[in-house]
Amino acid sequence: MKLKYLGTAAAEGIPGMFCNCRVCRNALKIRGKEIKTRSQALLDDKLLIDFPADTYMHILNHGLDLRNIHNVIITHSHSDHFYPNDFWCRFEGIAYDIVEEPLNIYVTEAGYNKALRQLGEDMNETRVKFHKIAPFEPFDVEDYHIIPLAADHDSSSNPVIYIIEKGGKSLLYAHDTGIFPDSTWDYLEKYNKKFELISLDCTGMAQKNLRRSHLCLNTDKEVYDRLTEIGVCDKNTIVYVNHFSHNGMLTHKELVVEAEKYGFLVTYDSLEVVF
């Protein structure tokens, strides 16, 4: 599989639009990997994970081609992951010469309701079709087997993290979660495969002991150690930390140095990982 990180930031992005902190000022000056847009990733150029407002920017800057994408899986309803207003741009009379239709969007209850509010009752289902998903109810999309797991995050956003399997390979995409809930650990303990790649929330960067709602480097290590202990990770597993906030108070360059102390790699916008 090939995972391309299109956006690697939390809600504000780095730099935050109105922010004048050291990290945001540095990002504007240095640009490159210091600039981080809102969360989105793309598997094998075809399965899109999350749909923030920055999707348009990812089309312009990172070569995202939505015309080739027929399935989108959403982690939760927060705006840095899900901005359904823009699906209006695919409606009849707005987008022309659409060959494959509709675009399938897999989303939990809160996201579904948000889409209803933003797009209205007429969802134009010939162009955009929403499918409700729930934790621990696996589903198949194209040649992917997708298992949503419970996350520890704002419960009103109905958050999930994902196991995504294809061709004997397995990815754990775990953003916007604190230390996993017991139900997720119970599932993982019975999971009889190893992950080739795990992508962990690092909103708090080098802060210490951020355990609820988001994670930081030292709690990522705790999660990684437990995943190793239960046998779903080993030394061959690639470990990236991702989903960054200026509240973590480190620049990308500083974070790379800190993450290395834990053996973790740091994502940046447009990074591609093949596994």
Give the footprint of Zn ion on this chain (CB under 5 A). Answer: 10, 16, 19, 21, 24, 78, 80, 176, 246
* CB closer to Zn ion, 113 vs 228: 113
Nearer to Zn ion, 152 or 176 (CB): 176
Q: Which residues pair with residue 163 across a beta bridge?
A: 147, 172
Nearer to Zn ion, 152 or 258 (CB): 152
Q: Which residues are within 8 A (CB) of 203 and not within 5 positions of it... i.e. 6 or more apart? A: 10, 210, 214, 215, 216, 243, 244, 245, 247, 248
Q: Cβ 157 to Zn ion, closest distance in Å?
A: 6
Pairing of strands 160-166, 144-150: antiparallel
Question: Is residue 227 within 8 Å of 188, Cβ to Cβ?
Answer: yes
Enter the tokens of residue 247: 């509240």
CB of 79 to Zn ion, least distance (A): 9
Q: In the bound complex, what is the minimum distance in angstroms from residue 9's beta carbon to Zn ion?
A: 8
How near is the Cβ of 44 to Zn ion at its closest, in Å?
A: 23
Q: Which two three-digit tokens encode residue 105?
A: 């969007």
Laid out side by side, the sheet with 71-73 consists of 128-132, 103-107, 71-73, 47-49, 40-43, 2-7, 272-274
Residue 16 or 111: the one with the smaller Cβ distance to Zn ion is: 16
- CA gyration radius for the chain? 18
- 8 versus 170: smaller Cβ distance to Zn ion: 8
| Cβ neighbours for 115, distance < 8 A, ≥ 6 positions apart | 84, 87, 105, 107, 123, 130
What's the min distance (Å) between Cβ of 1 and Zn ion?
23
Q: How far is the CB of 86 from Zn ion (least distance, A)?
A: 17
CA distance 209 to 219: 6
Q: For the stretch 60-98, what's the b/e string if a residue is b when 16 or more beta carbons lie within 10 angstroms of its beta carbon?
A: eebebebeebbbbbbbbbbebbbbbeebeebbeeeeeee
Q: Whose Cβ is closer to Zn ion: residue 24's or residue 223's?
A: 24
The distance of closest approach from Cβ of residue 92 to Zn ion in the complex, given in angstroms and rounded to an integer, is 32
Given the complex with Zn ion, which of 25 and 193 has the nearer CB atom? 25
160-166/71-73 β-pairing: unpaired
